[in-house]
Amino acid sequence: MRINAQSDILEVSSPDKKIKLSISTAEQLTYHVSYKGNLLISKSRIGLHLSNRRLGDLPKVKSSKTVKHKGTLALPYGNGHGIAEHYHQLTLQFEGDYELVVRAYNEGIAYRLQTKLTDSLVIMNEDAEFNIAASSDYEVEFPETNVFTSWEVAYKNYPHASEIPELVKAITPVLFTNKQFSVVIAESDLHDYPGMYLQKSGTGFQGSWASYPKHTVLGSWGNFVSVVKETENYIAKTVGTRSFPWRVIIPTDDDKSLLLNNLIYMLAKPMAMKDASWVSPGKATWEWWHDAIVEDAEIPSGMDNRNTELYKHYIDFASANKLDYLMLDAGWSDIFDLSKIQPKNDIHELIRYGKEKNVKIFLWCVVTTLMNDLEGYMKMMKQWGVVGLKVDFFDRDDQEAISWYEKIAAAAAKHQLMVNFHGCSKPTGLERAYPNIVNYEAVRGAESSKWDWHASPDQNMITLFSRMLAGPLDYTPGSMRNRTRENFKPIDPGLPSTQGTRCHELAMYVLFNQPLAMLCDSPAEYRKYPDIMEFLSIVPTVFDETRVLQAKASEVAVIAKRKGHEWFLGAMTNWNARDITIDFSFLPKGKWKAVLYQDGFEADKNAQAYQVTTVAVDQTSQINVRLAKGGGAALRIYRF
């Protein structure tokens, strides 16, 4: 870290000196970023537009402070050794009572503004520019949207970032790649402030935010979604002394590092719970995706027959296969009053029966109803014996809506309830403060297979290298009705299918970060394939160690993860078939058995085709595996 007084340039470098952020305090507060000596982000503005002035204009440095930090960030579950946290930090205090804080990690670089003002603030806008140097060289996977109300969007590919139309925006994280580098732009530690979108602006990109809501009504789906009808001419109103969200840039020339990158989590607010030992990740059976159709059940099934008897059937299935949870989706209660249970669903009996079978219950609800009596409903759920809530239909990420997430997480933590956010905006690290947040949706997941073609192997691979950097996802994998691109069609209502091979689905349970992992398909389907169910029964949802064996952004990933003394490995590809070599040198010395689930010989034509083999392996072993189009592989590796 150094200051050049003559040119008003300040520099912060990562501990390994590969990433450098240079700050100019001349007429306008600006920065640029280089990686291994290559300019990645050219001159870009930093600033905050208040109602009466603009922070960042004619900046005058009063003082600077540097900090070097090296330690280990403990985790409430998963990664038993914690996360290595090593950064250099520069804090610049400016006249006008505001600061710029820059942190440089080996994993990436981030900056945030802080104010120390006595009066409350009205934020008209923010200057958060990301001018990608030589943007025509970068291909971009753009999760494009023309609204501020959806985060389950498909990625639109632009071969050159410069081709993105002016003012078109996308949710973050956004992934840029060229022949040399991958760059991810994102945000972290979002509190009491609207979520950032990335919008094409001139030769680069600029942050974009939803305006503050002036008037809202219940509408949209079933008249239970909060819909903004009128907005203010500003994006936030807030206290005068506070920190604003981190603006994050993650560069690399090795895509393996993206699959290990925890920067967004590390930048977020530290744990706010006194004790998280009661939070219990696991797997859940779930009825909604397959319309509650259980073809081999000896009782009526289907959405109209969701009742106590049918849900006991799901509990029996979960218990027999060592699944931890039953997720009850919409329909168990009055949507607008959670205390009014539908007569056909005896929730109290299901909770009692679940305890008898060692299967716990999650219940679905909409956020607007929950917020009407947050404390009351949380207390009620805890008294009932529920262990978690699936909170759905946020459909906003303006400042007011963002406040709901932390309020819900804090209230749930108070009553030792887990939370699965669905229909929500992308995560920005809040699960660090509240580890009882086990998932966020914010992904074009399996549910969209009921309606369109977007949830595909191409989309899944982009998700791994971009969206997953933001935090855990509620993708809901596990389909047993697998189709090639040519044979797929959406089905709703009825029994849907998914694109990609069966082993592609299995690999998701290893590759995707999902502390609460759904099994989206019907118990009847899983019973047809006991060897598949054996893997799904035993695969963990959080792990102690991760090794990335192969990775190319948006194309292929091979990852090995350890839980205790066992290893699990997942491999996935996009719509391009490919051959991979699995090198077992990551294993400790000794003799191991590997149960390999791989695409069958006909998987390019029949995506359900798979084969299972068990082989002896050790540190010196290598296995060649063919991944079909949209294919995958999954392994369980254990000592013998």
pLDDT in tens, 78-104: 877 899 999 999 999 999 999 999 999
> Catalytic residue among 255, 392, 521, 555, which?
392
Question: What does the pLDDT look like over 336-348, one tens digit per residue?
Answer: 999 999 999 999 9
Strand partners, 66: 90
Residue 538: phi and psi, rounded to 5, are -100, -20
Coil/strand/helix, residue 519 = strand
- Identify the CA nearest to 521 among candidates 545, 495, 503: 495
- Identify the CA nearest to 640 among candidates 593, 582, 572: 593
Give the type of residue at 301: S
Domain boundary among 209, 239, 267: 267
E strand or H helix that includes residue 289: none
Distance, CA of 82 to CA of 237 (rounded, Å): 37
Read off the tokens for 221: 């789906």
- What is the maximal distance between C-alpha atoms in the chain? 82
Against a cut of 0.95, is the pTM above it?
yes
* 447 carries an active-site annotation: yes
Domain-embedded: residue 316: no
Give the type of residue at 215: H
Residue 572: phi and psi, rounded to 5, are -140, 150
Domain boundary among 267, 300, 326: 267
Distance, CA of 96 to CA of 107 (rounded, Å): 32
461 torsion bin: left (phi>0), alpha (psi -120 to 50), beta (else): alpha
**Cis status of the peptide bond prior to 270, with omega within 30 of 0:** no
Q: End-to-end CA distance of the chain, in Å?
A: 52
Distance, CA of 150 to CA of 393 (rounded, Å): 10
CATH number at residue 105: 2.70.98.10
CATH number at residue 477: 2.60.40.1180
User: In the prediction, which pLDDT does 136 show?
Assistant: 86
Name residues whose C-beta falls within 8 Å of residue 48's C-beta, 6 or more positions apart in sequence. Answer: 54, 55, 56, 98, 113, 115, 123, 126, 127, 244
Domain boundary among 267, 301, 333: 267
Give me the number of domains the chain comprises. Answer: 2
Domain-embedded: residue 333: no
Domain-embedded: residue 529: no
User: In the prediction, which pLDDT does 5 show?
Assistant: 42
Domain-embedded: residue 557: yes
> Dihedral of CA 518/521/522/524: which sign?
negative
Read off the tokens for 67: 């900090």
Give the type of residue at 140: V
40 neighbors 114 (Cβ within 8 angstroms): no
Distance, CA of 613 to CA of 535 (rounded, Å): 13
Angle at 63 between CA 57 and CA 69, to 5 degrees: 110
Give the type of residue at 259: L
User: In the prediction, which pLDDT does 7 show?
Assistant: 54
What DSSP letter does each residue of 218-253 carry, written as one string?
EETGGG-EEEEEEE-SSSEEE-SEEEPPEEEEEEES
- Identify the CA nearest to 184 among candidates 205, 210, 208, 202: 205
Domain-embedded: residue 416: no
23-28 long-range contacts, CB within 8 A, separation 24+: 23/90, 23/92, 23/100, 23/102, 25/59, 25/60, 25/61, 25/92, 27/57, 27/58, 28/56, 28/57, 28/58, 28/59
What is the β-pairing status of strands 19-25 and 9-13? antiparallel
* 392 carries an active-site annotation: yes
Domain-embedded: residue 483: yes
> Catalytic residue among 447, 458, 555, 599, which?
447
Give the type of residue at 194: P
User: In the prediction, which pLDDT does 448 show?
Assistant: 97
29 neighbors 39 (Cβ within 8 angstroms): no
The total number of residues shown for the chain amounts to: 640
Read off the tokens for 394: 């946020």
Neighbours of 17 (CB within 10 A): 11
Neighbours of 296 (CB within 10 A): 11
What is the β-pairing status of strands 482-483 and 498-499? parallel
Low-confidence ranges of the chain (pLDDT < 50): 1-6
Q: Residue 560 is part of which domain span?
A: 443-513+544-640
Read off the tokens for 153: 């969007």
551 neighbors 560 (Cβ within 8 angstroms): no
Distance, CA of 552 to CA of 627 (rounded, Å): 15
Coil/strand/helix, residue 105 = strand
- Identify the CA nearest to 41 among candidates 185, 189, 188: 185
Domain-embedded: residue 356: no
Read off the tokens for 512: 């995707």
Q: What is the dihedral of CA 165, 167, 168, 170, to 10 degrees?
A: 130
Domain-embedded: residue 29: yes
What DSSP letter does each residue of 162-181 carry, written as one string?
GGSPTT-EEES-EEEE-SS-
User: In the prediction, which pLDDT does 153 show?
Assistant: 94
Name residues whose C-beta falls within 8 Å of residue 275's C-beta, 6 or more positions apart in sequence. Answer: none
